[in-house]
Amino acid sequence: MGFFKRKEEHIDPDNLPKHIGIIMDGNGRWASRRGLPRNVGHRSGAQTLKKITTLCSEMGVRALTVYAFSTENWKRPKAEVDHLMLLLKEYLSKAEEELAGKDNRIRVIGDITPFSEELKQLIAHIHKLTEHQTGLTLNIALNYGGRNEIVAAVRHIVQSGVKADEVDEALVEQYLYTAENPPVDLIIRPSGEMRLSNFLLWQSAYAELWFSNVLWPDFNEKHLRQAILEYQKRHRRYGGI
Ligand code: IPE
Ligand code: IPE
Ligand code: MG
């Protein structure tokens, strides 16, 4: 039967996506299908994030931006929002010990003003602790919305007194949360939904998109490899030929 076995494909290390965005979706459905509370799905999703961050870092991906809580997710029942905040606190508190020996830089992107003082302090601590790391940058998008990010950028530009004819795409990009990162090459969305849900709207202009029915807690190395292999087969024209 060996004749029919497909040759294993290899990821080309010279054509890796430099920056990957992931919409970590499907935690609730993962739990419901098992008759478990949605919170269990979120907890499981947080474990997946740790594994995928390590894999991306080992592969040599430069930046990973993950959608953890959108500006629209406040619409959820208070108990679910509270649990997500708790999970976040746990994740960031443990990040310090888990980071030991790793070279990853962690940043939280989004509007953190409505978060508790404790959470804000944890975020500031993690930023400071990892700001000089030179490996993968993990951007955790919290209370993030692509439209909100663009509005915030426009506000900053106006406040800084820039003249209208000095505004161009490069300038706007300097005011986005991802200004220091390479352009987003690949956006991954598990869970079967085929939309961006307000994630990286500006940055996705020429990103490659990869969708899958797998639910985020089940997302593993195999799926990451599939997404990257498919990315490497795409012909990125950027409007050219
Ligand atoms: C994504 O999983 C996590 C967050 C939005 C916080 P969901 O909670 O949206 O899971 P589904 O889409 O209901 O399955
Ligand atoms: C997008 O997922 C937000 C996150 C994964 C954090 P949602 O579950 O909120 O998106 P919709 O509601 O299906 O568009
Ligand atoms: Mg969802």
Over 60: is that where the pLDDT of 1 sits?
no
Given ligand 2 and candidates 22, 23, 187, 191, which is best to mutate, with the most ligand atoms within 8 Å of its CB?
23
What stretches of the chain adopt beta strand conformation (E)? 19-23, 63-70, 105-109, 137-144, 186-189, 208-211
Which one of the listed residues 12, 25, 104, 213 is annotated catalytic? 25
| Cα-Cα-Cα-Cα dihedral sign, residues 51, 54, 60, 65 | positive
Task: Give per-residue pLDDT as tens, 178-195.
Answer: 999 999 999 999 999 999
H/E run at residue 56:
helix 38-59
Task: Give per-residue pLDDT as tens, 65-101.
Answer: 999 999 999 999 999 999 999 999 999 999 877 876 7
Task: Give per-residue pLDDT as tens, 128-146.
Answer: 999 999 999 999 999 999 9
* pLDDT for residue 100: 65
DSSP 41: H
Band of pLDDT at residue 4, cut at 50, 70 and 90: low
* pLDDT for residue 98: 80
Q: Any idea which residue has 């930046």 for tokens?
A: 63
**Domain 17-144+183-233, CATH:** 3.40.1180.10
pTM, to two decimals: 0.96
Q: Is the CB of 69 under 6 A from ligand 1?
A: yes
- Determine the angle formed by the axes of helices 221-233 and 38-59, rounding to 10 degrees: 50
Give dist(CA 209, CA 58) in Å, integer.
22
Distance in Å, CA 177 to ligand 2 centroid: 20
Percent of the chain residues topping a pLDDT of 90: 93
Q: What is the mean pLDDT of the chain?
A: 95
Distance in Å, CA 5 to ligand 2 centroid: 38
* pLDDT for residue 101: 72
* pLDDT for residue 6: 63
Q: Decide: 133 and 62 in contact? Cβ < 8 Å.
A: no
